Amino acid sequence: MILKTNHPPQPAPLSRREDLLVRVGAMRDKEAFIELFHYFAPRIKSYLLKHGADESTAEEIAQNTMITVWEKAHNYSPAKAAASTWIFTIARNKRIDALRKQKFVEVNSDSPALAQAAAAEPQESYADEQTIEKLSAALKGLPEEQSRLVRMAFFEDHSHQEIAEKTKLPLGTVKSRLRLALEKLRRALGMVQK
């Protein structure tokens, strides 16, 4: 026997985190956001580390995810998804965006070929005076921040991590700037493959 009532079905009560997220979206409730941040940021970082992100990248994506949560919380609907599902979807999308930006070949600064090419005395490594002049001009043509990182990586033989520590830059920033610098050097030296 089925009982019929004239009352519409009641929505399920919101979980604590769904309630917090609704409060952030509706009232820009900073206390609710802080609680969400303390709960989700470490979990997002852990998720990213388990999926191959390095420490610096995981931290950066977790921070960006929580910024997006703050900015987009008004779009959240508890009827469509749990708070954790909604937030982790943002984190996954941020991770995908970060991977798309990395359309490059990872350069290992410890590679013997690169170490030889970046010897302290370029004149001894290159027989061709024209190449030496091109390399010198290309290095001078780099922005100072990139030139400094190239010198530290290839002339002073510092690892990316050491450079990040010495310059107080995030590891991801060091790697990005080195990649950009190497690409500019390749173009300047006519080493870009088509």
Boundary (domain end) residue, out of 35, 69, 101? 101
Domain span at residue 21 reads 16-101
Tokens of 65: 């995810």
Considering the domain architecture, whether residues 94 and 46 belong to the same structural domain is answered as yes
**Residue 129 covered by a domain:** yes
Report pLDDT digits (tens) over 62-76.
Answer: 999 999 999 999 999
Considering the domain architecture, whether residues 97 and 116 belong to the same structural domain is answered as no
User: How many structural domains is the chain composed of?
Assistant: 2
Contact assessment for residue 122 and residue 130, using Cβ atoms and an 8 Å cutoff: no
According to the model, what pLDDT value does residue 112 have?
52
Residue 73's closest CA among 118, 19, 14, 117? 19
Determine the average pLDDT of the residues in 93-122. Answer: 61
**Residue 151 covered by a domain:** yes
pLDDT of residue 105 exceeding 60, the answer is: no
Considering the domain architecture, whether residues 167 and 128 belong to the same structural domain is answered as yes
Boundary (domain end) residue, out of 77, 101, 125? 101
- The domain that holds 170 is classified in CATH as 1.10.10.10
Considering the domain architecture, whether residues 127 and 71 belong to the same structural domain is answered as no
Q: How far is CA 140 from the centre of its chain?
A: 28
* Predicted structure pTM score: 0.49
**Residue 167 covered by a domain:** yes
Considering the domain architecture, whether residues 20 and 95 belong to the same structural domain is answered as yes
| Cβ-based neighbours of 167, under 8 Å, separated by 6 or more | 148, 149, 152, 174
Considering the domain architecture, whether residues 123 and 65 belong to the same structural domain is answered as no
pLDDT of residue 124 exceeding 70, the answer is: no
Least confident range of 101-105, 134-138, 162-166, 180-184: 101-105
- The domain that holds 83 is classified in CATH as 1.10.1740.10
Considering the domain architecture, whether residues 141 and 86 belong to the same structural domain is answered as no
Considering the domain architecture, whether residues 36 and 81 belong to the same structural domain is answered as yes
Report pLDDT digits (tens) over 34-92.
Answer: 999 999 999 999 999 988 888 999 999 999 999 999 999 999 999 888 999 999 999 99
Tokens of 95: 């991770």
According to the model, what pLDDT value does residue 147 have?
84
Q: How far apart are CA 167 and CA 175, in angstroms?
A: 12
Q: How far apart are CA 147 and CA 151, in angstroms?
A: 6
Q: How far is CA 88 from the centre of its chain?
A: 16
According to the model, what pLDDT value does residue 194 have?
45
According to the model, what pLDDT value does residue 120 have?
42
